Amino acid sequence: KSEENHIPYEAVKAIADNILSRIQVKPVIGIICGSGLGSLTEAITNAQNIEYKDIPGFPVSTVAGHVGRLVVGMLEGLPVLAMQERFHYYEGYSLIKCARPVRVMKLMGIEYLMVTNAASGINPAYKVGDIMLIRDHINFVGISGNSPLRGPNDERFGPRFPPMTDAYDPALITRALGIAEEMGIQDVKVGTYCFLGGPNQESIAECKMLHTIGVDAVGMSTAHEVVTAQHCGLKVFAFSLITSKASLDYEKKEYANRAEVVAVGKSRESTCRELMCRMIKSIAAE
Ligand code: R1P
């Protein structure tokens, strides 16, 4: 039950203080690395690693191959904290628990949240390897009432009914488009991400429905983190790496698999890392 994982403000603060007491810097940027994108952390200098299992009150990743640690250090002149990697609803945690690290970041003093994920392209114009800047989301898990904000609302985090307009900061998207152009990234996309519960991949009929309602890419994460970040006033920048193509046609079936996700992540890791670094550099220059 969601309620089981609800912890009070003071307990979130205790986790934040525990981490702060063990690190040398005070991060202002939080990064959540998507599947296959853990190498984003390789750009962090003076890196200090803390395993999730060594942080009292922190969840622990259960996905095979996931590292499960915080990487704290400097990136482009700013102190950052990166999650390598995240918690998914399908792992058995409530959304409240999956998104708990976002609140921990907030109480550590973090101001910006950079979110990445591996997603499947629903938009027929999308190709495997494309980068999609996320402009908005459709939170299928949340629409029916399963929200990381369910339960008592503590105003110290944010209001009971937070708006989701501009949850993905429009100015950061505009800036990223300029950076992508400078980098020569071919055909960067801007689109709508859809969060489904997983862990099964989408059926063909589901993909056709998602296409009809305006989804560009689909995955099993991100929206609950962004809802939580928007609630507590973090500025969010997010992008998806398109690691597979969804099937929209019974005559052209696609069979997404985990190895493909990891391989595409590997082939695009340096581009994703550079985009992230340049975004952080631009924030440092603000
Ligand atoms: C599927 O291979 C996994 O990759 C994506 C999907 O959501 C799913 O968890 O992971 P991230 O969203 O964490 O990148």
DSSP assignment of 96-147 equals: HHHTHHHHHHHHHT--EEEEEEEEEE-STT--TT-EEEEEEEEEHHHHTT--
> Best mutation site among 35, 194, 269 for ligand 1, i.e. most ligand atoms within 8 A of its Cβ?
35
Helices (H) and strands (E) in the chain, counts: 8, 9
* Beta carbon of 34 within 6 Å of any ligand 1 atom: yes
Q: What is the pLDDT of residue 251?
A: 85
Q: What is the pLDDT of residue 243?
A: 95
| Rg of the chain, C-alpha, whole Å | 18
Kindly report the protein residue whose alpha carbon is nearest to atom 9 of ligand 1: 220
Sign of CA dihedral 254, 255, 260, 261: positive
* Residue 221 alpha carbon, nearest atom of ligand 1: 12
Residue 146, judged by CB atoms within 10 A of its CB (0-12, 13-18, 19+), counts as: middle
Give me ligand 1 centre to Cα 115, in Å: 12
Q: For 5-52, give the DSSP string.
A: G---HHHHHHHHHHHHHH-SS--SEEEE--TT-GGGGGG-EEEEEEEG
* Beta carbon of 117 within 6 Å of any ligand 1 atom: yes
Mean pLDDT of the chain: 94
pLDDT digits (tens, 9 = 90+) for 91-105: 999 999 999 999 999
Q: Could you give phi then psi for residue 89, rounded to 5 degrees?
A: -60, -40
* Beta carbon of 265 within 6 Å of any ligand 1 atom: no
Give me ligand 1 centre to Cα 21, in Å: 31
Token digits of residue 199:
């862990």
The angle formed by the CA atoms of residues 88, 93 and 94, to the nearest 5 degrees, is 105
Q: For 50-79, give the DSSP string.
A: EEGGGSTT-----STT---EEEEEEETTEE
Longest dimension (CA), the chain: 57
Kindly report the protein residue whose alpha carbon is nearest to atom 7 of ligand 1: 220
For the chain, list residues with pLDDT below 50: 1-3
Q: What is the ipTM of this complex?
A: 0.98
pTM attached to this predicted model: 0.95
* Beta carbon of 36 within 6 Å of any ligand 1 atom: no
**3-state SS class at 280:** helix
Give me ligand 1 centre to Cα 184, in Å: 26
Q: What is the pLDDT of residue 6?
A: 85
